[in-house]
Amino acid sequence: MPDRFRPPVTLHSTRIRLEPLEFVHAEALARVGAMPEVWQFLSYGPFPDQERMREHIRTLLERQGLGTDLPFAMVRRSDGIPIGMTRFLNIERENETAEIGGTWFDSRFWRGPYNTESKRLMLGHAFDSEGAHRVSIRTDLRNERSQRAIERIGGRREGVLREERVVREGYRRSTVVYSILADEWPAVRDRLDDWIARPWTDPAGGTSPT
CATH of the domain at 16: 3.40.630.30
In the predicted model, what is the mean pLDDT of residues 140-169?
Answer: 93
Position 16 pLDDT exceeds 70: yes
Position 210 pLDDT exceeds 50: no
Position 204 pLDDT exceeds 80: no
Residue 42 lies in a domain: yes
Residue 151 lies in a domain: yes
Position 55 pLDDT exceeds 70: yes
Residue 107 lies in a domain: yes
**Domains held by the chain: number:** 1
In the predicted model, what is the mean pLDDT of residues 104-119?
Answer: 90
- What average pLDDT does the structure give for the chain? 92
Pairing of strands 134-140, 97-105: parallel
Give the pLDDT band (50/70/90) at residue 34. Answer: very high
Domain with 132, as residue range(s), is: 11-197
Residue 38 lies in a domain: yes
Position 151 pLDDT exceeds 80: yes
Q: What are the tens digits of pLDDT across the range 72-97? A: 999 999 999 999 999 999 999 999 99
Residue 210 lies in a domain: no
Residue 2 lies in a domain: no
pTM for this model (two decimals): 0.93
Residue 114 lies in a domain: yes
